[in-house]
Structure 1
């Protein structure tokens, strides 16, 4: 990242924060990514993207099992799915 990006956000009542759009774009942060929060001995906060959720299986080839599947119907943990 060659350009410095800086923005502010407010901690809400449930202690959640929204990552500002300019920061998300500059850092390549997407929904589902994991962030690591660190506070050093001087109280300085740093945040690092440690896990990018999407694209993890992008190199896998689909397997044809010879029948149609529907994950929402077939998976037992999805609300509304059949058991």
Structure 2
């Protein structure tokens, strides 16, 4: 980050907040990123940006398990489901 940015926002009735544009730009917040919240013993809130990872497994080689599979269709199956 090049410099400090401070701004404020209001918590709405559904307890959602909007990250101010200046803060998003300075921190590099993008859609899909997560904000990790922490409250210390004095009630001070801090927020950490957790960047969305794309292509995290792109360098891995496929493993032959001896039968055809389709991870996009099979990933939510429970053992014994067909």
User: Which protein has the larger Cα radius of gyration, Structure 1 or Structure 2?
Assistant: 2
Is residue 62 of structure 2 the alignment partner of residue 56 of structure 1? no
Deviation at 1:57, TM superposition (A): 2.1
Cα distance in structure 2, aligned partners of 1:42 and 1:49: 22
Stretches of structure 1 lacking an aligned partner (at least 5 in a row): 61-74, 77-83
Please name the residue that 2:14 is paired with.
Answer: 14
- Return structure 1 stretches of 4+ with deviation > 4 angstroms: none
Gaps of 5+ in 2: 59-71, 74-82
| Structure-1 separation of matches of 2:35 and 2:22 | 16
TM-score (norm 1): 0.63
* Aligned counterpart, 2:45: 45
Aligned length: 61
The TM-score normalised by the length of structure 2 is 0.63
Once the two structures are TM-superposed, the CA of residue 2 in structure 1 deviates from its matched residue by: 3.5
Aligned CA RMSD, in angstroms, stands at 2.2
